[in-house]
A and B are shown apart, each in its own frame.
Chain A
């Protein structure tokens, strides 16, 4: 039904996919048009809708979120449009619907893909005429509401399958926002992990403990079918159960631990060739996993792991870290951004000074 997101809900991401989303949201900031947010369950549709509302012109008016998945047809209608006394058994008094409650503000119709066809017609009429009629009522009530719809499935496909009205689809799909699944923006995982751990440990009045490399590695490797919500829940769980002062593999839910290491239906696949022994242990742990690996993902994991290692060893001094990695200071900055490792102040910069100190061996400084 409706839900009130905690006030500290924000959209987090430094990946190119998320930057594109933020960029688009900024472009449409002053628009009053209907937005269609598409994304798998847990990708942050409601958080994004809230963000759109809070940055828009209607921010001082209500934001009302409704899931259209939970109700029978009559219930959706009564929920959205309200009812008059006696409209049906149990309707003992007049009740305004969500559209009326959202007057001058924004209504977020989540799970729009679950709305039955018959109800879609009524919704279309409301969107076209900007008026509603309460169930059992005769009065036509004008509504001044900005509409944001959320869908976890591809509405275009539902249209092709005859399960979603084409006219409603076009009415909704004025400003489309596509939220990528977490597995397609893995570089945001460290940033999100730190964000959620900080939130949940702070809620307990504690500072977040350090996270072991193995856990970071595992989180990068896992596919997160429940997306950001699943990652958030994993972090909340850790904040409740970790007692040893470091977040280690043992703190991680079994479903994630084994989900990340699943070998799939095939019998044990051949081992991956061992990576250079000089690499940190977790890089080798990745290579120990059998089954399919995506080279690009693995390289990204490895890259962010090595950068993190260099930043740790150099206590956040980026010039020193760049020297350790034998790359330029500016290159390191770019890569930190690309890997989403820079949570803004986590690792202190070392001022504008530049270039790597050439010729120094990494081990000299460890």
Chain B
């Protein structure tokens, strides 16, 4: 079972960069092996940024957490 701490551990890697640009990424919820995240601040609502994070965060979660199944940007 995936824990919030594991997910946060992955997000911590990119968070300093996002925050330096006036943005952030937060975990809204974890249900089973699905993670819901939301983009905040500067890059929120930007289609490129959402695609980047959708692809990048999902790949990084998959590498770090074997049980991880899917990521939703909500």
Which residues of A are at the interface with B, using a C-beta cutoff of 8 A?
Answer: 212-215, 217-218, 241-244, 248-255, 257-258, 261-263, 268, 281-282, 284-285, 288-289
**When the two chains form their complex, are residues A250 and B49 in contact, meaning their CB atoms are under 8 A apart?**
yes
Residue in chain A with minimal CB distance to B9: A268
Q: Can you pick out 13 interface pairs between chain A and chain B where the beta carbons lie within 8 Å of each other?
A: A212-B20, A241-B48, A242-B48, A248-B22, A249-B20, A250-B18, A250-B39, A250-B52, A258-B60, A268-B9, A284-B16, A285-B16, A285-B19
Q: Which secondary structure characterizes the binding site on chain A? A: helix
What are the 3 A-B residue pairs with the smallest beta carbon separation, nearest first?
A: A250-B49, A254-B56, A250-B43
Residues of A close to B57: CB separation below 8 A: 254
Q: Given that A258-B14, A268-B9 are known contacts, is A249 also in contact with B21, CB under 8 Å in the complex?
A: yes
Shortest CB–CB separation between residue B53 and chain A, in angstroms?
A: 7
Interface residue from B20, B22, B48 paired with A217 (Cβ < 8 Å): B20
State A282–B19 Cα separation when bound (angstroms): 10
Per-position 1/0 for B32-54, Cβ under 8 A of A = 00000001001100111110110
Given contacts A243-B46, A250-B46, A250-B48, contact A285 B17 (CB under 8 A): yes
Alpha-carbon distance A263/B11, docked complex (angstroms)? 12
List residues 1-25 of chain B with CB under 8 A from any CB of chain A: 9, 13-14, 16-23
Q: Are A214 and B20 also in contact (CB < 8 A) when A254-B53, A261-B14 are? A: yes
Query: What's the least CB distance linking A11 to chain B, in Å?
Result: 30
Contact A249/B23 with A261-B13, A285-B17, A289-B16 known, Cβ cut-off 8 Å = yes
Closest to A286 in B: B16
Q: Identify which of B9, B42, B53, B59 contacts A248 (C-beta below 8 A).
A: B42
- Bound-complex Cα distance A244 to B23 (A): 13
Q: Is the CB of A252 within 8 A of B46?
A: no
Measured CB to CB, the closest approach of chain A to B73, in angstroms, equals 12
Minimum Cβ distance to chain A for residue B38 (Å): 14
Is the C-beta of B74 less than 8 angstroms from some C-beta in chain A?
Answer: no
Report yes or no: B17 in contact with A218, Cβ–Cβ below 8 A.
Answer: yes
A244 to B19, CA, bound (A): 17
Contact check, B52 vs A251: say whether CB atoms are below 8 A apart. yes
Indicate whether A253 sits within 8 Å of B17 (C-beta atoms), given known contacts A243-B46, A258-B60: no
A288 touches B23 (CB 8 A): no
Q: Is B55 an interface residue (CB 8 A)?
A: yes
| B43 touches which of A249, A253, A258, A289 (Cβ 8 Å) | A249
Which residues from chain A contact B59 at a C-beta distance below 8 Å?
254, 258
CB neighbours (8 Å) of B22 from chain A are 248
Q: Which residues of B contact A255 (CB under 8 A)?
A: 56
Contact between B56 and A251, CB atoms less than 8 A apart: no
Task: Find out whether the CB atom of B21 lies under 8 angstroms from the CB atom of A214.
Answer: yes
A214 engages B17 (CB within 8 Å): yes
**Cβ distance A273 to chain B, nearest Cβ, rounded Å:** 15
A260: min CB distance to chain B, Å = 8
Residue of B nearest to A281 (CB): B20
Residues on the A chain within 8 Å of B17, using CB = 214, 217-218, 249, 257, 261, 285
CB distance from A293 to the nearest CB of B (A): 13
Q: What separation, in Å, do the CA atoms of A177 and B16 have in the docked complex?
A: 40
